[in-house]
Amino acid sequence: MTDLVIRPLTAGESHLFTSLPDPGLVGRAAFGQTYAAIDEGGGYRPEWTWVALRDDAVVARAAWWAGPDDDKPLALDWFDFIDGDAAVQLLRTAPLHAEYDLLLPPGWRDTPDVRGAAQARIDAAIAAGMNPLVERYRYTWTPECGLPEQPGRLEFHPEPDDAVILDVLRRIGQGSLDAHTRDAVGKHGTDRAAQEELDILNWFPSPREWWRLARTPEGEPVGIQVPARNFNGPCIGFIGVLPEQRGHAYAYDLLVECTHDLVGQGAQGIAAATDQGNFPMAAHFAKAGFPITQERINLI
């Protein structure tokens, strides 16, 4: 068998990446997204796009993604292959490390060829040294879903002091049901995990002034909701309830307020996500009229 060549692309080689046939069962292609479109927007870069070639033909490929101002990739965003061993070697060889975000259609396990395509990618990522972290739901709200009525139980106000926000995030991280938060707390401790969360919120290219803390009418702190805009459009940036306020379904109030804020800014579509195991938050999204439009598996 011909030796495998594993290397990054050079400028002008996007055609090489797209030469590998893709049935569009899972990943970005399953949702009509193309490498070229994202590459042209600055999300992919030649040095972060790797291919494995045999006889000058691509047999595995991977593209890492980041925002236009980031100096390192934030996610393994595109990964597929026709040679599983080559795919494993590609991930082991490329000097890039970021969470693998595998996009899947809702109910993907019910369709054998989709399930097979997904499992092949998961198995290859695991063989390359990654570990499954969590399965998530991804939602997309549109005006056709209807705007949920605001419960009116809480009052919302801006907070310009990052130190105050950091303290809120630190407290929210205690006992969180979110797998990414639990993983960060377990690896780095509560303080660093909160700082990482704040860094993500500041990474969004939407105004800092949109962030809102929530209180009861009596002035008791409840949590935070962050309407945001990522590089694809409006999104629910963050919803979090303080430990002492859990059990009152306040996360629903925060979600509805966040939705109203984004609609007030002109949003015609709002992306959101939660862990599949976070049953309370998943129920809030359903109640607020957010349909599931994707499932995702994250490996680290």
Domain 5-130, CATH among 2.60.120, 3.30.70, 3.10.450, 3.40.630: 3.40.630
User: Taking the model in full, what pTM does it have?
Assistant: 0.95
Architecture of domain 144-299: 3-Layer(aba) Sandwich (3.40)
pLDDT of residue 1 exceeding 70, the answer is: no
Q: What pLDDT sits at residue 43?
A: 86
Domain boundaries for CATH 3.40.630.30 within the chain: 144-299
Q: What is the mean pLDDT of residues 136-147?
A: 98
Which pairs with CB-CB distance under 8 Å and at least 24 residues apart come from 278-285? 278/177, 278/178, 280/177, 280/249, 280/251, 281/177, 281/239, 281/251, 282/137, 284/249, 284/251, 284/252, 284/255, 285/137, 285/139, 285/255
Are 54 and 114 contacting, i.e. CB atoms less than 8 angstroms apart? no
224-254 tens-digit pLDDT = 999 999 999 999 999 999 999 999 999 999 9
pLDDT at 42: 77
pLDDT tens string 99-126 = 999 999 999 999 999 999 999 999 999 9
> In this predicted model, what pLDDT tens digit does every residue of 163-173 receive, in sequence order?
999 999 999 99
Summarised one tens digit per residue, pLDDT across range 30-69 is: 999 999 877 777 789 999 999 999 999 999 999 999 999 9
